[in-house]
Amino acid sequence: MVAMDSARTGRLLQRYTKGRRLVVGCIPYRFKTTSKSYLEGKELEVLLISAQREGKGMLFPKGGWENDESMKEAALRETIEEAGVIGIVQNKLGKWKFKSKSHDGSYVAYMFPLLVKDQLDLWPEKEIRRRAWMGVPEAREACHYTWMKEALDSLACRLVPSTQQQQEIIEEDDELGSKQQLNSEEDFFETYNSEEVFFETRNSEEIEKVDSKQEQHNSEEV
């Protein structure tokens, strides 16, 4: 797939509401196959990128929502520009309000999950961004912004069963397994008993034949 040549710049088309700049972003995610995970052998991983300014740690791709695009279109564009991944933008995770100390401004942010389908080798901000796939606990520790951590928690709650849900699923599987085992045992004994009856009947018939032949032989001797 061909990557876009450059990122959008400037704020001529930038959207605002009540003096707050509107920003949108994505949490890119995938499922990594592993034998240690409960999710049918799959572990949730998310993609973080480095901030442009040193000391700001890692974050999820986000940027301004502009007038000539929908919210999801803007979220996907920002993700391609900053993280170099393409995928399916899914239902909104939530809405957050925050202030920027460096820009002295107020913002309203909307975050979306993005199920990654393709990871680009070249993308507009490759030279100024570092990207890294992480599990949810590691990503939560690495992420610099509190509101982004909350968005990550929302994603994890949506995609990863809780401990209680996992236990309920395990109990259902155990119950189903027990029923299947019981059914198998019942089928076995039913088959065994029917075969036993068959052999008993056959043996009785053979014994009767032998007894009849013996009686006939004895009659002939007399």
Nearest to 125 by CA among 2, 11, 1, 6: 6
Largest CA distance in the chain: 127
Nearest to 31 by CA among 155, 150, 165: 155
Q: Is the pLDDT of residue 180 over 80?
A: no
- Is residue 118 pLDDT above 60, yes or no? yes
- pLDDT, one tens digit per residue, over 135-176 is 999 999 999 999 999 999 999 999 987 545 545 555 665 666
Average pLDDT, the chain: 80
Q: Map residue 177 onto helix, strand or coil.
A: helix
What's the CA gap between 29 and 102, in Å, rounded? 29
What is the reported pLDDT for 201? 52
Reported confidence tier of residue 46, pLDDT bands at 50, 70, 90: very high
Decide if 149 contacts 143 (C-beta within 8 A): yes
Contact criterion met (CB below 8 Å) for 111 and 65? no
CA atoms within 13 A on the CB side of 50: 11
Q: Do the beta carbons of residue 73 and residue 188 sit within 8 Å? A: no
Domain map (residue ranges) of the chain: 16-160, 162-222
Does domain 16-160 correspond to CATH entry 3.90.79.10?
yes
What would the mean pLDDT of 11-29 be, rounded to a whole number?
Answer: 92
Cβ neighbours for 19, distance < 8 A, ≥ 6 positions apart: 106
Contact yes or no for 46/29 (Cβ under 8 A)? yes
Q: Taking 50 as the threshold, does the pLDDT of residue 2 lie above it?
A: no
Tokens 């994603």 -> residue: 155
Residue 161 Cα distances to 10, 88, 119, angstroms: 42, 21, 27
**Quick one: which of 68, 48, 69 has its CA closest to 58?**
48
| pLDDT at 191 (0 to 100) | 54
Strands (E), the chain: 16-17, 20-33, 42-50, 58-59, 62-64, 85-89, 94-100, 105-119, 131-135
For residue 98 the two structure tokens come to 């925050």
Q: Provide the CA 159 distance to its chain's centre, in angstroms.
A: 5
Specify the pLDDT at position 125.
Answer: 96
Position 112 confidence tier, pLDDT thresholds 50, 70, 90:
very high
Average pLDDT over residues 66-75: 96
